[in-house]
Amino acid sequence: MIESVFIELSIIIILAVAVSGFMKLLKQPLIIGYIITGVLAGPFFLDIVKSTDMVATFSQFGIVFLLFIAGLSLNPRVMKSVGKVSLITGVGQVLFTTLIGFSIAKFFGFSDISALYISIALTFSSTIIIVKLLSDKGDLQTLYGRISVGFLLVQDVIAILILMIISSPAGGLDIMTVTIETVLIGVGILSSIALFSVFALPRIMKAAAKSQEFLLLFSIGWLLLMTVVFGYLNFSIEIGALLAGILLSISPYHYEIKLKMNVLRDFFILFFFVLLGSQMIFMDISEFLLPIVVFSAFILVGNPLIVMTLMGLLKYTKRNGFLAGLTVAQISEFSLILVALGVKIGHISTEILSMVTTIGLMTILGSTYMITHANKLYPHISKYLNIFERRGRKVDEHVYHKGEDYHILLFGFDRIGFSLLESIKKFNKKFLIIDYDPETITNLAKEGYECKYGDVNDIELLNELNFSKVKMVISTVPDIETNLLLIKRVRETNKNAIIIVVSQQIEGAIKLYESGATYVLMPYFLGGECASTLIEKHGMKLKEFLKEKTMHMNHLKIRGKLKHEHPKAEKHR
């Protein structure tokens, strides 16, 4: 038995390697390869997946690790700032999608109960898929990323309430009773966890961090404890996993924990997508082809338009509205669970489940492409999106500067940017800091720096900046394509500007040099170069090294207060 399960899981992983490797050769998102692996391994093709319980368990581990790591990037103070827009957008999108979806379903002749199930299924987007895509892009820390996670959580809460109502013994438990009980239990849990996290968790974390091995073990234990508690009380274990990460996000060890957990996340999350693909139900859907196309188009285009409209009314820029809107352009696992439950209790037919499953596959694949290539897609349609942007100052512009012409432009105030700023200030030249993290911009503005919220991938932002008179442009973003775009834009109007960019690969650094970069920083090589310089400078003089030690310790203390760590490769803008 054990050997057969081992062989089955091994074959699934080998198949995933082959399919995903082929997808990588075609430069396609790996998620698509994972889902196709599941479809191939499912009952309609190779029929490999026999130990469904084991695969489902691995899938569940992948989900909780993924959401836990996402939570580590979502500081509670930051999430508070996007609470209003997340709530309004989340609830508004569910209501409008349900109303429009119901009307479309009735137009195609579905019964009232079938139309209701279909329309509700269309409203929910996959938190798991979106968090994975945003994490891969390095966009969880962006404003649109935080807003997206916020309204996806609102959707999840609504989905859980609806599933509780439908699955109740009477088939329709009083919604007010369910809501009140859920709120009371939720408040009790959150209050208890809040007290523990304030008074006990920091001390425990400090003790656990003395051993790297135990820190990892404690983090996994904390995660599983939270998910078990939430699951035992009939709450979503996914929300428990996300909350477990959020509570550790304020810890000085959160980068270290995130680094250690990434490997576990990437391994186990594979099984979620494989299981999702293997459970796709394919039957004769020829009579539903037109509804499938129309519903898929509505989700891929209509849902983003709803979010863009709501965010525009709340005075957000069209770019953030567009990027956030793309995250609702697919249906989620909750949608499939909801429709499957409706079939089980006899409300709707299996044909409806097959139709929704096909819609799910089409929208997941379509939205994955759109989200992955959003930065390339946006410039081509930007001029058509003005209708979604209200006139006047936007709440997400965060402009804290007076002039337009600067001698130095610094893109990305991260760990590298912090060090560079110290040297930039000594030039006594006018400089502007641009960063994609609104919290960073707010803190810099409080310190009196001229700064601006923006993403270096945004071509509109680059067009706003006057590169013709700039003397130096510095980018701390390690993404090659982003830096190539910046170099191209600067060189179009300024051939003499000094352009300093970052690369984490030798091949990428050479490509940047060939494209016009003046100097390429390679963080992983700087440590050795710095040590070599110190040795040449001080030789065997112990006193000089002790002076360097004192200065370095003081510098590290400042870094510590800013919660800077030395993580694995991350994207910073």
The owner of tokens 């369910």 is 178
Q: Specify the pLDDT at position 140.
A: 81
SS (H, E, C) 467-529: CCCCCEEEECCCCHHHHHHHHHHHHHHCCCCEEEEECCCHHHHHHHHHHCCCEEECHHHHHHH
Q: Specify the pLDDT at position 291.
A: 92
What is the rounded average pLDDT of the residues 8-30? 87
**Contact of 363 with 276, CB cutoff 8 Å:** no
Q: Specify the pLDDT at position 312.
A: 92
Q: Specify the pLDDT at position 172.
A: 46
Q: Whole-model pTM?
A: 0.76
Distances (CA, A) of 344 to 25, 255, 284: 41, 44, 19
Q: Specify the pLDDT at position 141.
A: 79
User: What dihedral do alpha carbons 514, 520, 523, 529 form, nearest 10°?
Assistant: 110
SS (H, E, C) 312-335: HHCCCCHHHHHHHHHCCCCCCHHH
User: What dihedral do alpha carbons 297, 299, 302, 304 form, nearest 10°?
Assistant: -130
Query: Is a pLDDT exceeding 70 seen at residue 285?
Result: no
Nearest one of 51, 67, 58, 223 to 156, comparing CA atoms: 67
Range(s) within the chain of domains with CATH label 3.40.50.720: 399-561
Per-residue pLDDT tens digits for 134-176: 888 888 878 899 899 889 888 887 887 787 677 654 444 455 6
Q: Higher pLDDT residue, 226 or 563?
A: 226
Q: Specify the pLDDT at position 168.
A: 56
What is the rounded average pLDDT of the residues 464-468? 88
Per-residue pLDDT tens digits for 204-251: 888 888 888 898 899 999 999 999 988 887 777 877 888 898 888 878
What is the amino acid identity at position 415? R
% of the chain exceeding 70 in pLDDT: 90
The architecture that CATH gives domain 399-561 is 3-Layer(aba) Sandwich (3.40)
For 389, residues 6+ apart whose C-beta sits below 8 A from its C-beta are: 312, 317, 318, 321
Query: Is a pLDDT exceeding 70 seen at residue 1?
Result: no
Q: Specify the pLDDT at position 494.
A: 93
Nearest one of 129, 90, 92 to 334, comparing CA atoms: 129
Query: Is a pLDDT exceeding 50 seen at residue 292?
Result: yes
- How far is it, in rounded angstroms, from Cα 90 to Cα 413? 31
Residue 342's pLDDT band (cuts 50, 70, 90): confident
Per-residue pLDDT tens digits for 45-101: 888 888 888 888 998 898 889 888 888 877 776 667 788 898 899 999 999 999 999
Range(s) within the chain of domains with CATH label 1.20.1530.20: 53-388
Average confidence score pLDDT of the chain: 83
What is the rounded average pLDDT of the residues 515-542? 79
What is the CA 559 to chain-centroid distance, rounded?
Answer: 26
Q: Specify the pLDDT at position 108.
A: 92
Query: Is a pLDDT exceeding 70 seen at residue 178?
Result: no
Q: 453 forms bridges with which residues in the sheet? A: 435
What is the rounded average pLDDT of the residues 509-516? 92
Q: Specify the pLDDT at position 486.
A: 94
Q: What is the CATH number of domain 53-388?
A: 1.20.1530.20
- How far is it, in rounded angstroms, from Cα 455 to Cα 458? 5
Residue 562's pLDDT band (cuts 50, 70, 90): low
What is the rounded average pLDDT of the residues 113-134? 90
For 327, residues 6+ apart whose C-beta sits below 8 A from its C-beta are: 125, 130, 134, 148, 152, 307, 367, 371
Least confident of 151-160, 210-219, 335-344, 525-534: 525-534
431: helix, coil or strand?
strand
Q: Higher pLDDT residue, 418 or 58?
A: 58
Q: Specify the pLDDT at position 78.
A: 64
% of the chain exceeding 90 in pLDDT: 26
Q: Specify the pLDDT at position 77.
A: 67
What is the rounded average pLDDT of the residues 295-313? 94
What is the amino acid identity at position 113? I
Query: Is a pLDDT exceeding 60 seen at residue 564?
Result: no
- How far is it, in rounded angstroms, from Cα 488 to Cα 462? 11
Q: Specify the pLDDT at position 455.
A: 86
Phi, psi of 395 (to 5 degrees): -70, -20
Query: Is a pLDDT exceeding 70 seen at residue 106?
Result: yes
Q: Specify the pLDDT at position 232.
A: 82
